[in-house]
Structure 1
Amino acid sequence: MTGSEPETSGVDPSTPRMHNNESGSISSNTLRNEGQTEHVREEEATPAKGVAPSPGQASNDTPVQASQAPEEGRTKLQTSLIIAALASALFLAALDVTIVTTAIPTIAEQFNSTAGYTWIGSAYLLANAAAAPMWGKISDIWGRKPILLLAVAVFWVGSLLSAVSVNMAMLIASRAIQGIGGGGIVILVNICISDLFSMRRRGSYLGIMGMVWAVAGGVGPILGGVFTSKVTWRWCFYVNLPISGVGFFVLAFVLKLHNPRTPMRQGLAAVDWLGSLTIVGGTLMVLLGLEFGGVTYPWNSPTVICLIVFGLLTTGIFVVIEWKIARFPIIPLRLFKTKSNVAAMGVCACHGFVFISGSYYLPLYFQAVLGASPLLSGVYILPFTLSLALVSAATGIFIKKTGKYLPCIIFGMTVMTLGYGLFIDLEARANWAKIILFQIVAGIGVGPNFQSPLIALQTTVEPRDIASATGTFGFVRQLFTSISVVIGGVVFQNQMQKQYPQLLAELGPQTAGLLTGANAGASVGVVGQLPGREGDIARQAYWDSLRTMYIMYVAFAGLGLVIAMFVGSRKLSKDHTEHKTGLQDMRRRKETPATKGDVEKGGDTSGSA
């Protein structure tokens, strides 16, 4: 871009743009006088000789002096405090997905409510997924920091209400409030990192967040078991209060991002209410239909059919609203215009779908087949959790050093397919060499794709769409994670039902009825009480059913690998522009058409793998 070119839609002419040039080489510049933009760009992908630079590239003829970058304006201590506070908030949001798994039986017994058994966990996941798309867009209106603090506050209130719940209904409602806040935390942590750091550097920090998520998922069941057995299950929620409270105040004082100070009335008028209501309603109906199907109601019942059908219809209405009606859509359809963006979303969906089966169903294998306690099953899954966490962090470092993310996506999906394929070779007895090694391979495969597809998506969208793209990415991951748990359970239950004739002949009608169909997942304790050969038959039935379920997950991992081949490749830039938020900027960008070069800086697309 030369000095004579007009400003693109993602740049506010009234605000200085600041960039970070870590390599010491500045390729082009536009210096404007007071009231204008100072624009410094460095691109690492150099065009071939005789070919004019693309809008995302520049020549390296004119050296200039870069202004101080936003990243350089923070001390190392400030950066460390910000990352620590963001990580602590994300840790708690991820922890609350799994910490209740070992406490649920005790809670259900105390409240004398078997009907609420599944809803303690589901309420959090459903609210998390349904609310996810809205957080990114409202942060565009009111700014990242106020909305992140709001999400932390909502999560804090939900945790407090959960801890002091006096009955199951109050606990389920409180968990839904927690889920709304937790979903906002997950989305906004990624958005804030994208605003704070250049495309090249943010990979390492997103890798840290992936590691935090993995560790939280691994230690959640262990902490839940310790609190439940040593103190009280209420500490599963009390533990959130001091940590999130401290994180709230650290973020309030240390996090420095553009605050547009949008008036409440104007901001509320700009919210895409129709889109928000239809996406929340459609998501909840589909997920509730899947949740009810085969458990509370038969799959062919009017309740389940109506929920799924009307949920899909409502989602279709949402698409029309975003396309034709919404002025500031929460999920702009332009995000799906390029093959690379659709592929990145597809990788995200397959990764979320497959990843959760390790965290969710490996403990079932340990408990039902190997006879481990809930607490020990949390310990046994540590090889998966730790390898995942380490590789996620290492991926961030690799992206920062090389500026390449596509090799991480391909490598991760390949090894994940291999690792989950190895799970099929586990046995109905404790072969610890296989159990540990296979988990490590699967963890190595899962780790790279927490952040890599998100970076791939962010490199090809306009700066104005970073928040919406990140929110949509989080929504897709959470949606397919929730669907995966349900579909995995359906496959497992159907396979157990197919083994009913054999179990009936060997164990009798009462025991066979407990171990098949919808009762299978809740009858782990029955398996442990069966003596000798009867126990062996039951454990083999459980393993055969889990094995079939993992064959399905391997197929989805392979699909993700194929989709990954269509993700575009860019070499990431080290310079950075802090994105402005607020209604005034949103209106200006709406009225100014975007140019081809108005994307996150990252060099030319070099095609798919």
Structure 2
Amino acid sequence: MVFIYLGKKAYRSIKRPGKTQQPISTAASGGPATEEVIYRDKNGSPARVTKPSASACGHQHDPAAGPCPTCKSARRAQLTYRCRLFAGLLLPFVVQALDVTIVASALPWIAADFHETGQLNWIIAAFNLTSAAFIPLWGQMADIFGRHVSMQACLVLMLVGSALCTGAPLTAFPVLLLGRAFQGLACAGLNILVRIVLADKVSLRENAKNWSFFSFLGGVLGWGLGPVVGGYITSGSSWRWCFGINLPIAFVSMLVIYFVLRSELLGPQPIPQLDETTDTGRRTKLVKRLQTIDVGGQVLFLFGFGLLILGLTWAGATYSWTSPAVLATLVLGVLTSVSFLAWEYHMAPGGALARRFPWQKAMIPWELVRNRDIGLLCYTSFATGMAMYSVLYFCNIYFTMVKLWPADQAGVQLLYFTPGLGVGVYASAAMCNSWPRKTFPPIFIGSVFEMTGVGLLAWALYTEHNPTIYGMMALTGVGTGLRVMPVQLHGIGYFPKKIAAVISLMAVAYPFGGTLGLTIMTTVFNNASGIGNDSPLRDFGTLKSLPEAVQQRVTHEAKMGVVWAFVAITPFMVLCTVLASLLGNLYIGKADDGEGERTNVIYEGVYMLSWFRRGGGTEKNIITREHQPDGEATL
């Protein structure tokens, strides 16, 4: 796919030499067919400026003499940048995507070997806790230390975490959980950094193309093949290699980034709170830059989010929902989260904390928190995580406990989710880049598909009709793929000055939805199936040795547990569809080769209502915005 995409771009640049290049970074200038093209070095400083036009390249070149050498050089520079970008980010993105799901098939066997079947969900929760809670911190680290240093630090943490998981003694379950926590911390950084680097030097439309490709890649290799690889590794060798496979990938990634991509990555970014600008560059010492971190917000977010995840992990698995441990943890988590929101409110410009700490940069700008579309997008990401985790983990439990299939065969069945995911990602890319070039249709249609897929999957599991099960898994995958890229693009279009903060919010909501969904489904499964945490039937290896009558009863109860688990999360999918219908819309301006990117248009009202109005809306709800890849925006 990579080589086909790059070859297509190279072929177009050769066959159409008279047209001007599509720039790596653009900013609108006076006329509609003229733009200022700024190529920046690793520190963000302008390196070369040209002003092409739609009809002629503007380089004082005689067309009769052949292709313009300046345009040809610029096209070559653009293609080189894209090749380096894909080569450097491919392995880091794959390793973080693979780490989310590779344990899905191996999970029951890992817990059984440690004799911790009742604590099975901790293997997932330890990863999800750190992979979500530290995402905003990595966003600020990328600005303070630069993209390259931050990404290398993530890969080192991945090596440490994978080594701990691979070598964890069977008598030391906490060592495995510690390794999973380190892996989650690394994946949090890789997740946010890959997205930031993809958006750093390109236009909004180019970002949509690049992120579509990486979404498809992550979906196929990570979410699709992850459970299959984990199942074959567990059956053919040992579950330890599910973690050991990360070691060579992470090491090679460090070398590739250093030698291939390092020169293209932005360094430490100017911080306005320290009177730094793009022109003056970074002038203050590292200690001063570290002081700009919103320490209070980071601490409140970590404790609030961590306590919520801890309470949800304990509930139903370790303690009952009404136990003091669960109730106290959840209440403290809610209070701390509310305190975090209050802190960020007062960190807004003019607030009490902003006046007290004028040099600190708010972790989450308050204008994002209060924006309706950002809140709706966060819930959409939340529901997407819930749906995807439910299919990958509980369909695997169905194939293992009800069908009594081995880990490798059960993992292969999850491949039916992958084609749907690929179709969804491809369709969303076409909707955003070609027609209708809007973000609302794929988000809303994806919500409808995902709601239908999850709801009918419960019925299909009840009937045990395999073709219907596979079809609903694929339909859920289509819904997931349709929303992966447009959700992020929609938020960036609304707030192009706050790319890192927008991406962080979307990335936090996704694993939180998966964690809450698994907690609810696990509790419902335990109660509906009658298979408690201490039941010997939790050891899936013993099911085949049971007498036939007992085996049929156990598998039927397990099937009903899985069915009711999917029924329990269906209301969340219905609510997601309702909320998605209340979104606004981002119209992405089309840019052909040699033309400047046209102004993007956002509709801040309820876009679905505009379908029933003449003209598609009112002027007060429409805002035109020129997207600039360096994070600036003109309203």
TM-score w.r.t. structure 1 length? 0.78
Q: How does 1:175-186 map to 2 (within 5 A)?
A: 175-186=180-191
Deviates more, 1:141-150 or 1:427-436: 427-436
Preserved contact between residue 131 and residue 186 of structure 2 (Cα < 8 Å): yes
SS at match of 1:270: coil
Q: 1:571 to 1:556 in 2, by over 3 A?
A: same
Preserved contact between residue 127 and residue 183 of structure 2 (Cα < 8 Å): yes
Measure the CA separation in 1 of the matches of 2:546 and 2:27: 65
1:562 maps to which of 570, 578, 589: 578
SS at match of 1:299: coil
Query: Is 1:19 the counterpart of 2:41 in the alignment?
Result: no
Measure the CA separation in 2 of the matches of 1:128 and 1:31: 37
Measure the CA separation in 2 of the matches of 1:267 and 1:161: 33
Measure the CA separation in 2 of the matches of 1:479 and 1:123: 12
Shift of 1:491: 2.2
Task: State the partner residue of 2:148.
Answer: 145
SS at match of 2:600: coil
Cα deviation 1:444-470 (Å, max 9, x = unaligned): 22211111111111110142x111110
Task: State the partner residue of 1:353.
Answer: 386
Measure the CA separation in 2 of the matches of 1:99 and 1:246: 20
Q: 1:445 to 1:460 in 2, by over 3 A?
A: same
Q: 1:36 to 1:161 in 2, by over 3 A?
A: closer
Preserved contact between residue 154 and residue 180 of structure 1 (Cα < 8 Å): yes
Q: How does 1:48-67 map to 2 (within 5 A)?
A: none
Preserved contact between residue 102 and residue 228 of structure 2 (Cα < 8 Å): yes
Preserved contact between residue 438 and residue 586 of structure 2 (Cα < 8 Å): yes
2:486 maps to which of 440, 452, 470: 452
Task: State the partner residue of 2:553.
Answer: 537
Measure the CA separation in 1 of the matches of 2:483 and 2:371: 20
Deviates more, 1:442-451 or 1:177-186: 442-451
SS at match of 1:451: helix
Measure the CA separation in 2 of the matches of 1:74 and 1:214: 29
Cα deviation 1:88-109 (Å, max 9, x = unaligned): 2122112222223444455456
Preserved contact between residue 122 and residue 177 of structure 2 (Cα < 8 Å): yes
2:495 maps to which of 461, 466, 471: 461
Measure the CA separation in 1 of the matches of 2:58 and 2:367: 36
Measure the CA separation in 2 of the matches of 1:321 and 1:71: 47
User: Structure 2 counterpart of 1:194, which letter?
Assistant: A
How many residues are paired up? 531
Q: 1:540 to 1:74 in 2, by over 3 A?
A: farther
1:396 maps to which of 429, 433, 438: 429
Deviates more, 1:555-564 or 1:250-259: 250-259
By relative contact order (CA 8 Å, sep 6+), the higher-ranking structure is: 1
2:331 maps to which of 306, 309, 316: 309
Shift of 1:287: 0.7
Structure 1, unmatched stretches of 5+, are: 1-15, 43-59, 498-514, 577-599
Preserved contact between residue 125 and residue 309 of structure 2 (Cα < 8 Å): no
Cα deviation 1:72-98 (Å, max 9, x = unaligned): 574435423422432321221122222
1:603 maps to which of 601, 606, 609: 601
Measure the CA separation in 1 of the matches of 2:215 and 2:24: 29
SS at match of 1:330: coil
Task: State the partner residue of 1:259.
Answer: 267
Preserved contact between residue 369 and residue 428 of structure 1 (Cα < 8 Å): no
Q: Identity, % of aligned pairs?
A: 25
Query: Is 1:242 the counterpart of 2:248 in the alignment?
Result: yes
Measure the CA separation in 1 of the matches of 2:72 and 2:118: 55
Deviates more, 1:539-548 or 1:274-283: 539-548
Measure the CA separation in 2 of the matches of 1:282 and 1:368: 36
Q: 1:517 to 1:158 in 2, by over 3 A?
A: closer
Deviates more, 1:277-286 or 1:264-273: 264-273
Query: Is 1:343 the counterpart of 2:376 in the alignment?
Result: yes
Shift of 1:182: 0.7
Deviates more, 1:291-300 or 1:318-327: 318-327
Task: State the partner residue of 2:17.
Answer: none
Measure the CA separation in 2 of the matches of 1:484 and 1:352: 8
Q: 1:184 to 1:575 in 2, by over 3 A?
A: farther
Query: Is 1:279 the counterpart of 2:301 in the alignment?
Result: yes
Shift of 1:398: 3.6
SS at match of 1:450: helix
Preserved contact between residue 17 and residue 39 of structure 1 (Cα < 8 Å): no
> Could you say what the CA RMSD is over the residues aligned between the two structures, in angstroms?
3.5
SS at match of 1:570: strand
Task: State the partner residue of 1:163.
Answer: 166
Cα deviation 1:553-596 (Å, max 9, x = unaligned): 322222111111122212213679xxxxxxxxxxxxxxxxxxxx
Task: State the partner residue of 1:224.
Answer: 230
Cα deviation 1:19-46 (Å, max 9, x = unaligned): 189xxx94566899xx99999999xxxx
SS at match of 1:314: helix
Q: 1:399 to 1:491 in 2, by over 3 A?
A: same
SS at match of 1:603: strand
Q: 1:519 to 1:81 in 2, by over 3 A?
A: farther
Q: 1:196 to 1:322 in 2, by over 3 A?
A: same
Shift of 1:248: 2.1
Query: Is 1:479 the counterpart of 2:512 in the alignment?
Result: yes
Shift of 1:409: 0.9
Measure the CA separation in 2 of the matches of 1:477 and 1:180: 15
Structure 2, unmatched stretches of 5+, are: 1-22, 39-44, 60-69, 270-281, 347-352, 355-359, 593-597, 609-635
Q: 1:108 to 1:425 in 2, by over 3 A?
A: closer
Task: State the partner residue of 2:131.
Answer: 128
Task: State the partner residue of 1:437.
Answer: 471
Measure the CA separation in 2 of the matches of 1:160 and 1:212: 25
Preserved contact between residue 493 and residue 518 of structure 1 (Cα < 8 Å): no
Deviates more, 1:153-162 or 1:403-412: 153-162
Shift of 1:524: 4.2
Measure the CA separation in 2 of the matches of 1:521 and 1:83: 46
1:209 maps to which of 188, 193, 214: 214
Q: 1:496 to 1:299 in 2, by over 3 A?
A: same
SS at match of 1:425: helix
Preserved contact between residue 33 and residue 54 of structure 2 (Cα < 8 Å): yes
Measure the CA separation in 2 of the matches of 1:394 and 1:469: 23
Q: 1:459 to 1:181 in 2, by over 3 A?
A: same
Preserved contact between residue 130 and residue 280 of structure 1 (Cα < 8 Å): yes
Shift of 1:282: 1.0
Query: Is 1:288 the counterpart of 2:310 in the alignment?
Result: yes
User: Structure 1 counterpart of 2:224, which letter?
Assistant: G
Measure the CA separation in 1 of the matches of 2:72 and 2:268: 20
Preserved contact between residue 141 and residue 150 of structure 2 (Cα < 8 Å): yes
SS at match of 1:187: helix
Measure the CA separation in 2 of the matches of 1:352 and 1:133: 18
Shift of 1:272: 1.3
